[in-house]
């Protein structure tokens, strides 16, 4: 019972760190483009992060849970696994707490994977780590920002060609922005229906999923069209910035993509907190180490509550840092970043690949920046973010080794 209580507390602490740090990355573009205030961003994120974690958080959990460590080496050693997962949660949560206090946008996926690898090396030796799995996860950390950057670049180029570079950008925005809203709703709905609802007992065939997703996207598109048509156009606003009225139209779309990004983040990163909790739970209940374990709904709820609490208490610091310092954002640029990043994250979540939301979003922001020219990027800030990514892996691993030794001395 003691182990279960500690797992719940440490898992809550880890989820709190995710909310304080990574959720800020998910909402930062909305705040940076001045579409949402920090308070509004926090409310939207709280609702959709919770929904994403509970509805679509099951797939990735299995990868974090059983893919990183050679389970066979833990045969007959459930307490080793329990100590290791507790140490990993505490280590990753501690690092995220430090980083969030400093305003550093780091990867929670890096933190927990580094921590689990650290425990495995300390408790079982180098051979306990599934290095090919680590390699594939590491590749996803490279591929996901490149993919998100490419998608964001192409999306923003389409915005430039269809709307911004036209003679009458306002009428073009009224025509095409509802289509972008449809695309957002369709992508998010399709991935959620196909991958996120299976563990709730809801299974749809591909034609059914496509039809339902198209209906949801269509409903969002029509709603967006009605709202956009009611936005008054004030020519005086365009005197200082030629696209002010166009950006007001994009602001409607930005709210939709902000919700999508929060949902995508909740679906992917809740695994970082609940995966080790699920491992401890299965070891305590069965008395043995199992390669697979079902994730109870209360564990998903635990992760979702922790994420929302961290966001409410400390998320504003990293939101302010990321949203205003990488590059100058407008609603059209912010929408492009969020849709590209959300699509990449949800797709990875559906396939069970734990990607970093931080990496993906920064890649998308870089893609938008490159579409406007390299001078649009604050390379000093970008270098600092890259450096924080490098430090996170060893920090998680070293802290996990320390906490593992302490837990082993106390309970072993």
Confidence at residue 354, expressed as pLDDT on a 0 to 100 scale: 66
Confidence at residue 64, expressed as pLDDT on a 0 to 100 scale: 56
Buried/exposed 43-71: b ≥16 CB within 10 Å, e otherwise: ebbbebbbbbbbbbbbbbbbbbbbbbbbb
Nearest of 261, 268, 252 to residue 354 by alpha carbon: 268
pTM of the model: 0.80
Over 70: is that where the pLDDT of 220 sits? yes
Per-residue model confidence as pLDDT tens digits over 5-30: 999 999 999 999 988 888 777 778 88
Tally of structural domains, the chain? 1
Q: Mutual orientation of helices 331-350 and 2-32 as an angle, nearest 10°?
A: 150
Q: CB–CB of 310/45 below 8 Å?
A: no
Residue 178, domain member (yes or no): no
Over 90: is that where the pLDDT of 74 sits? no
Confidence at residue 269, expressed as pLDDT on a 0 to 100 scale: 73
Q: Average pLDDT, stretch 387-397?
A: 86
Which SS3 state, helix, strand or coil, does residue 327 take?
Answer: strand
The burial of 241, by beta-carbon neighbours within 10 Å (0-12 exposed, 13-18 middle, 19 or more buried), is given as exposed
Q: CB–CB of 397/186 below 8 Å?
A: no
Residue 389 neighbours by CB distance under 10 Å? 20
Residue 171, domain member (yes or no): no
Residue 244, domain member (yes or no): no
What is the C-alpha radius of gyration for the chain, rounded to an integer number of angstroms?
A: 21
Range of the domain at 288: 2-155+256-411
Residue 79, domain member (yes or no): yes
Q: Mutual orientation of helices 2-32 and 38-56 as an angle, nearest 10°?
A: 130
Nearest of 85, 61, 105 to residue 303 by alpha carbon: 61
Q: Mutual orientation of helices 331-350 and 169-191 as an angle, nearest 10°?
A: 20
pLDDT over 90 percentage in the chain = 14
261 phi and psi angles, rounded to 5 deg: -65, -40
Residue 311, domain member (yes or no): yes
69 forms bridges with which residues in the sheet?
Answer: 129
Over 80: is that where the pLDDT of 95 sits? yes
Largest CA distance in the chain: 74
Residue 192, domain member (yes or no): no
- From residue 128, alpha-carbon distances to 7, 72, 73, 284, 367 in Å are 22, 9, 6, 21, 38
Residue 9 neighbours by CB distance under 10 Å? 16
Per-residue model confidence as pLDDT tens digits over 177-218: 899 889 888 877 876 676 656 556 677 788 888 899 999 999
Residue 145, domain member (yes or no): yes
Tell me the C-alpha distance between 385 and 383, whole Å.
Answer: 5
Q: CB–CB of 322/372 below 8 Å?
A: no
Residue 34, domain member (yes or no): yes
Per-residue model confidence as pLDDT tens digits over 249-289: 888 878 877 887 788 777 767 777 877 888 788 888 777 76
Confidence at residue 290, expressed as pLDDT on a 0 to 100 scale: 65
């Amino acid at each position: 019972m003691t182990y279960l209580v500690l797992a719940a507390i440490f898992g809550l602490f880890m989820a709190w760190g995710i909310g304080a740090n990574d959720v800020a990355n998910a909402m930062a573009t909305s705040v940076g483009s001045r579409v949402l205030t920090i308070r509004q961003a926090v409310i939207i994120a709280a609702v959709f992060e919770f929904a994403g974690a509970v509805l679509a958080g099951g797939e990735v959990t299995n990868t974090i849970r059983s893919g990183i460590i050679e389970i066979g080496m833990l045969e007959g050693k459930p307490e080793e696994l329990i100590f290791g997962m507790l140490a990993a949660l505490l280590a990753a949560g501690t690092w995220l707490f430090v980083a969030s206090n400093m305003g550093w946008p780091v990867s929670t996926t890096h933190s927990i994977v580094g921590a689990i690898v650290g425990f495995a090396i300390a408790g079982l030796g180098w051979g306990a780590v599934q290095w090919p799995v680590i390699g594939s996860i590491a590749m996803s950390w490279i591929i996901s920002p490149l993919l998100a950057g490419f998608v964001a670049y192409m999306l923003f180029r389409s915005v430039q060609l269809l709307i911004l570079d036209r003679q009458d950008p306002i009428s073009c925005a009224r025509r095409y922005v509802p289509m972008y809203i449809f695309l957002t709703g369709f992508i998010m709905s399709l991935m959620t229906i196909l991958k996120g609802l299976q563990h709730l007992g809801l299974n749809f065939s591909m034609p059914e999923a496509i039809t339902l997703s198209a209906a949801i996207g269509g409903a969002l598109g029509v709603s967006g069209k009605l709202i956009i048509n009611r936005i008054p156009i004030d020519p005086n606003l365009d005197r200082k910035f030629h696209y002010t009225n166009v950006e007001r139209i994009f602001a409607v779309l930005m709210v939709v993509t902000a919700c999508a990004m929060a949902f995508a983040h909740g679906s992917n990163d809740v695994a970082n907190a609940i995966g080790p909790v699920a491992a401890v739970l299965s070891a305590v209940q069965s008395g043995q180490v199992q390669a697979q374990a079902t994730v109870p709904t209360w564990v998903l709820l635990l992760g979702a509550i922790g994420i929302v609490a961290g966001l409410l208490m400390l998320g504003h610091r990293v939101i302010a840092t990321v949203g205003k310092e990488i590059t100058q954002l407008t609603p059209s640029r912010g929408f492009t970043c969020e849709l590209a990043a959300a699509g990449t994250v949800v797709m990875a979540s559906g396939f069970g690949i734990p990607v970093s939301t931080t990496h993906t979003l920064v890649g998308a922001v870089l893609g938008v920046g490159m579409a406007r020219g390299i001078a649009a990027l604050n390379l000093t800030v970008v270098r600092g973010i890259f450096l924080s990514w490098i430090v996170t892996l060893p920090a998680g691993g070293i802290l996990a080794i320390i906490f593992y030794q302490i837990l082993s001395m106390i309970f072993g």
